[in-house]
Structure 1
């Protein structure tokens, strides 16, 4: 950017900040912003402008790093992208209006493009930072879900439980199948209880995946018992005409464990 433009912005920095603070009040209408305490909001506004203006007198690499550090901190505490984009648009308007009032028309027109490019570059970086943060968060959540999803838990000798929680799609069904078969071999399970208490909806596709899992369990020499059949789930299964008659079903995990104990010739006795 031309040194004369940088000098213009620096000399009028305080005035520009004050005008910008008035402009940016409209951004506070965002519900995510209104929940932020007033003192933190005001302090962050001034820090935001300092970061933006200070990008003018450092190298492009250092400017990007300073902006990245500032934005990452606010992303982590939940500041919306609209705060930055709308705030920058307001700051651009303030600068251009100030130039229009205090410079000749020809000079103001020639500098508008440089200011536009400067602010657009910052907006693009902000969008990239937010996009990267969301993608990273989404990937981490997917990894965490895979690590926690559908574990096969041994509860008694040769009896294991697989609790299912949340929506089951094709990708997750594949993971369930893999964990199920690997767990049966590892724990030498004779009976596997698939608990669908935490599955909100059982439709044709979900039932198909469960039936496939039960068939796979049978093929490796174990017995599958489906537990957690709530009344509304039972009604849905009947209405859809889904046949779950190939393997036993129980309404609760407790009843399923009792059946599993019978299959493995075990029982629980009370000690007086």
Structure 2
């Protein structure tokens, strides 16, 4: 038997050994995990979670073992498909990325312990040092690629989730609530900085256009402070709405806000204002009802 053939045979023996000991490996790996509620790696996880993690880890052992018999490109394809699934699964828990990285080190340590056991138990195979170095190259390449693809997928999922949450928060920060098919209500609540003011203008114009509104009631009862910048953005919004053919009515200006506006010399005289949101909504509904019966 040639050296190349011998090496391939011994790699096959190591592959079979690791596959046969996958469950035992997983139990040893689990003993090294810290208890951290919410983490999928925690020994105190719910039984269904723990069983799934055990199954995934056993499959992980077999996948890395299979890489002993594959080329680098074949190993990468195999690993990518596995990490895509497991990263998605981990992202649904409170498992953090630093736990994933730490666990990668634990897994690697246990893996090499089993390779060592194999070489000690299979003395009849006459395993050469060169073979061990070849296994080191393939196993560590596979483990490194697992970490690379897992973290990339994990972070991608988290970033997409944050982006979705950010978009939702932005939409909720300036929601146009339809009162009728043509009249909407924009309740503005809280402090308004430059970024939020710009966002309110952009989203309100888009929502008003999409809903084909003819009137928008802007409720400022939740705004405690109106400065020059905020007023300018409100005027800008009203001017832009006028260009879209949407009439604007402001309601809910608080007494302290009115005093501040006068002190700052802000002129709301050209803008239609109402002192009661309930009254204007009731009027809108009444007018809409009358129109429907005409």
Separation in 2 of the partners of 1:121 and 1:208? 54
Separation in 1 of the partners of 2:119 and 2:260? 75
Separation in 1 of the partners of 2:263 and 2:51? 58
| Pairing 1:18–2:27 present | yes
4 and 176 in structure 1: CA distance in 2 versus 1, 3 angstrom threshold: same
Radius of gyration: which is bigger?
2
Task: Give matches, 1:33-72, under 5 Å.
Answer: 37-55=45-63, 56-57=65-66, 60=75, 61-72=77-88
| Pairing 1:122–2:146 present | yes
Task: Give matches, 1:147-226, under 5 Å.
Answer: 150-151=175-176, 153-155=178-180, 159-164=183-188, 168=196, 170-180=198-208, 186-187=212-213, 189=214, 191-196=215-220, 205-218=229-242, 223-226=247-250
- Aligned alpha-carbon RMSD (Å): 4.7
Separation in 2 of the partners of 1:240 and 1:124? 59
31 and 194 in structure 1: CA distance in 2 versus 1, 3 angstrom threshold: same
45 and 113 in structure 1: CA distance in 2 versus 1, 3 angstrom threshold: same
The SS at the match of 2:31 is helix
TM-aligned CA deviation for residue 39 of structure 1:
1.2
In the comparison of the two structures, how many residue pairs are matched? 258
Separation in 1 of the partners of 2:202 and 2:89? 37
TM-aligned CA deviation for residue 52 of structure 1:
0.7
TM-aligned CA deviation for residue 21 of structure 1:
0.8
Separation in 1 of the partners of 2:236 and 2:166? 24
Q: Please give the TM-score of this superposition, normalised by the length of structure 2.
A: 0.63
1:91 to 107, 116, 124: 107
77 and 102 in structure 1: CA distance in 2 versus 1, 3 angstrom threshold: closer
CA contact (8 A) 2:171 2:203 kept: no
TM-aligned CA deviation for residue 195 of structure 1:
2.6
Q: Which runs of 5+ in 2 are unaligned?
A: 1-7, 68-73, 121-127
1:137 to 158, 161, 169: 161
TM-aligned CA deviation for residue 171 of structure 1:
4.2
CA contact (8 A) 2:38 2:45 kept: no
CA contact (8 A) 1:5 1:111 kept: no
Q: Deviations over 1:67-98 (max 9, x none)?
A: 42343244345544444333222111222344
Separation in 2 of the partners of 1:239 and 1:89? 65
Q: Which runs of 5+ in 1 are unaligned?
A: none
The SS at the match of 2:15 is helix
Separation in 2 of the partners of 1:213 and 1:223? 11
Task: Give matches, 1:245-264, under 5 Å.
Answer: 245-246=268-269, 247-250=271-274, 252-257=276-281
Separation in 1 of the partners of 2:169 and 2:177? 15
Q: Please give the TM-score of this superposition, normalised by the length of structure 1.
A: 0.67
